[in-house]
Amino acid sequence: MGLCNISLAVLCSVVIQSSDSPLDYLNSHNAARAAVGVGPLTWDDTLAGYAQKYVNQRDRDCNIVHSSGPYGENLAMSTGDMSGTAACGPVGGGESRLQL
């Protein structure tokens, strides 16, 4: 389930930030995972489609709301310019507490 939780966050950020390609975001995320001894993620087109559909619903109001769907997600918001790869980095030091 941890893989699904992280994957949706990856996909949502990729969809929202067109300046980062899916591969850029995946590489950044996998580097963070490797740093804590966790295996890499791979792209999942089914999950990407789910994330795109959810982002299309949220882009009307920009509310940070969990999808309550079959996948989990990590949500991030910034008052500045945050790329998808930046969202993958340390957010309040929580990355060291992840249970993957």
Question: Can you tell me the mean pLDDT for 37-52?
Answer: 90
Q: Between 66 and 75, where is the model more confident?
A: 66
Per-residue confidence band for 92, with pLDDT thresholds at 50, 70 and 90: very low
pLDDT digits (tens, 9 = 90+) for 33-42: 898 898 998 9
- C-alpha distances in Å from residue 68, one per residue of 5, 54, 73, 74: 12, 10, 9, 12
**What is the C-alpha to C-alpha distance for residues 32 and 79, in angstroms, rounded to an integer?**
23
Start-to-end C-alpha separation, the chain: 8
Residue 90 · residue 23 · CB < 8 Å: no
**What is the C-alpha to C-alpha distance for residues 74 and 12, in angstroms, rounded to an integer?**
9
Q: What are 19's two structure tokens?
A: 């300046």
Q: What are 54's two structure tokens?
A: 């959810």
Predicted local distance difference test score (pLDDT) of residue 36: 87
pLDDT digits (tens, 9 = 90+) for 1-23: 444 444 555 555 444 444 678 88
